[in-house]
Amino acid sequence: MDIRHDASVHEPATTPHGPWPEDSLARVPYWVYQDRDNYDREMRRVFEGATWNFVCLEADIPNRGDYRTNQVGAMPVIVVRDADGTINCFENRCAHRGALIAIDDGGNVQNNFKCIYHAWSYDLAGNLKGIAFERGINGAGGMPKDFKRETHSPRKFRTTTLCGLVFATLSPDTPSIEDYLGGEILGRVRRVLNRPIRIMGRFTQPLPNNWKLYVENVKDTYHASLLHLFFATFRITRLTQAGGVLVSPDGAHHASYTIGSTDAPGAEAFREKDLRSERDDYKLADPSLLDPVEEFGDHIQLQILSIFPGVILQQIHNCLAVRQVVPRGTGRMDLLWTYFGFADDTPEMNRRRLKQQNLVGPAGFVSMEDGCVGGFVQRGVAAAGTKISVVEMGGSTAESQATRATEASVRGFWKAYRRHMGY
């Protein structure tokens, strides 16, 4: 099985610690969450490589001059709507001394961005257009006469949109977003994002773990009804319910789903194994929290979809969100949440979504455990850099499966990761 990166990228195809131990997608070395050189390589080869990175929603920037600031890996970026309606993305770094060009989360500029440090200005495409006192004062000072503005601009990205999501890439080799995702995952994106959206709120959740641990967690369908007491108790998703996992052919992207709320044969396994993940004595003081309505016509009550390297599209009942993974070092990351509904939502549906948003987030009835468990792993492997994790539920390959008692989509992540990293 050849999962190495294209040899045209001129970096050695070995890890910082030698060959990948046990050349299998089902074995992952713990140093990969700890090594600083590996982290720096990720920023270059994954986030700045031939991948599509989520940078904002089209609803964030509906008008000329509307912009959002964001990150592509370690790189700060600006995403802005140009006068002709096109969407541009460029590095948020002044060509002069490296300061941020835009310091707010978002806003509107009519014609140009201006660096707060020395007032160098940039148009909506990221071109350097103005230099304060470029010709000096009274003929003294200023920039050299042969200085060419057009050769000094921040790095620019290609952009594309899909169902209201905006993606950016630095690489000319990244395929179209449709080819990047593949037909099955593309269909699952379109299933949820089937009409214009309305942003309901956003926040940032700092997490004490390597960024890959959160991506693994999102793809890990095995843990959902074991770790999350709320999921199992209230039948939002349990391994004994119908559903499965879709994995794109290259392993990079996935969609897991749960159909309906009725257990298939084998539901007694939760009680027989004395698991912590079901409590008959837990009740809701306000049962309307779990009063969903069928929106998508397929009885899928939960779908979690990930796009490599770090964006997640969530549907839990009627609670919809986009989550973005932002690395902040080997042992830290930010998770950027954006809750949304649809522009044609009724007031009743709006209230339902607001109530169900209590399911997720730092204190969500479901996802508060996810905010802790990545840190537990980061702490647990601190002295185990030469050891490996075992990712073998459901086999050792990364194909779609008609069950969620599998780690196939986690293995898919490592299949894609090793290809991009050259391991």
Tokens 């959902």 found at: 224
Whole-angstrom Cα distance, residue 180 to residue 252?
A: 9
CATH homologous superfamily, domain 59-161? Rieske [2Fe-2S] iron-sulphur domain (2.102.10.10)
Which residues lie across from 130 on neighbouring strands?
Answer: 121
pLDDT in tens, 354-375: 999 999 988 888 877 888 899 9
SS3 content of the chain, % helix, strand, coil (to 5): 25, 30, 50
Q: For 103, which DSSP code?
A: -
* Residues in the chain, pLDDT under 70: 1-13, 235, 261-280
What's the pLDDT score for residue 6?
42
pTM of structure? 0.92
Residue 111 to residues 83, 130, 153, 296, Cα–Cα distance (Å): 9, 12, 16, 41
Residue boundaries of the structural domains of the chain: 59-161, 195-421
What's the pLDDT score for residue 16?
82
pLDDT in tens, 365-412: 887 788 889 999 999 999 999 999 999 999 999 999 999 899 999 999
Q: Is beta strand 254-263 parallel, antiparallel or unpaired with respect to 112-114? A: unpaired
What's the pLDDT score for residue 273?
58
Same CATH topology for 59-161 and 195-421? no
Domain 195-421: state its class: alpha beta
Structure-token pair, residue 228: 């999350």
